[in-house]
Amino acid sequence: MAAAPMAAHAADLTLKLTSFPNGNHKYYHRLLEESLKAAGHTVRIQSQGNLPQPRILAYLDDGDLTLHWMLQTKERDAKYVVVNHKLTQGLIGQRIMLVSKDDEDAYAKVKSLEDFRATGKVAGLGQGWFDVGVWNESGLGVREQGGDWRNLYAMLASKNRGIDYFPRGAIEIVAEAKDNPNLAIEKHLMLVYPRDFVFYLSKANAGLKPVIEAALRQAEKSGLQKKLIDESFGPSIASLGLDKRTRITLKNPSNN
């Protein structure tokens, strides 16, 4: 309780964050910066550049990143300091598939989870991702990729690495498809599970938790967060036609 008043006092904050060439970091940077500024703080963001996933986690472990946005899991809650606020209003849990160019209509007849299982198609996912548990719990084929998960794009394009699709969040996939013109956005399905991104602070920056939580709560209440989501993702979300897709509900793992 003693730390809570920190959120009421203006502070000069320097945040060390990662960024990505395709711009998928911009919403999270803007949400932090504009929420904290609206709460009266001065904010400076230092970009740590385009880090692969293992290095992002290593930097977070060491405090070389202030925080990072990730799907919430019990394991991460234990390892880092969770900022209790849903960042994408559930959009990250609405998964659209990246597929090879000639596979865009391969799922047109799928109408249920049972149909999807029956295709025998295998997802490519990063090693240890929360999604791996979702796919396993749902009885779907999955192959995990160690090291930098971004190698999955080339693996999928090669068509000979044992993966048929790469499920991506509705707010991520349009930018990633533009970066990978040899891949396509599957046209018919949306794979859904109830989970969202949260910010995880390094333990060295645990004192920022009440400050950021208070700023994000106010951003949601004021409509600032929705405005930033609409500005950042509105056109790309609209292009996916989510309301016209067959919705396949997946199962969260029971232990997470």
Q: What is the mean pLDDT of residues 142-169?
A: 93
Query: What Rg, from alpha-carbon coordinates, does the chain have?
Result: 19
Find the helix or strand (DSSP H, E) in which 190 lies: strand 189-192
Query: What is the pLDDT, as a whole number, of residue 10?
Result: 73
Confidence of residue 132 (pLDDT cuts 50, 70, 90): very high
> DSSP alpha helices (H): ranges in the chain?
26-38, 53-62, 74-79, 113-118, 130-137, 152-158, 173-179, 209-222, 224-240
Higher pLDDT, residue 240 or 23 = 240
Mean pLDDT over each residue of the chain, to the nearest integer: 92
Query: What is the pLDDT, as a whole number, of residue 11?
Result: 83
Q: Which domains does the chain have, with CATH numbers?
A: 4-90+195-222 (3.40.190.10), 91-193+240-249 (3.40.190.10)
- What are the pLDDT digits (tens) for 61-115? 999 999 999 999 999 999 999 999 999 999 999 999 999 998 988 999 999 999 9
Query: What is the pLDDT, as a whole number, of residue 172?
Result: 92
SS3 content of the chain, % helix, strand, coil (to 5): 45, 25, 35
Query: What is the pLDDT, as a whole number, of residue 2?
Result: 30
Three-state secondary structure call for residue 11: coil
Query: What is the pLDDT, as a whole number, of residue 79?
Result: 95
Query: What is the pLDDT, as a whole number, of residue 255?
Result: 64
Query: What is the pLDDT, as a whole number, of residue 254?
Result: 72
Contact 161, 151 (CB under 8 A): no
- What are the pLDDT digits (tens) for 102-126? 898 899 999 999 999 999 999 999 9
Q: How far is CA 33 from CA 38, 41, 108, in A?
A: 9, 9, 42
| Long-range residue pairs from 241-244, CB within 8 A, at least 24 positions apart, any chain | 242/94, 242/170, 242/190
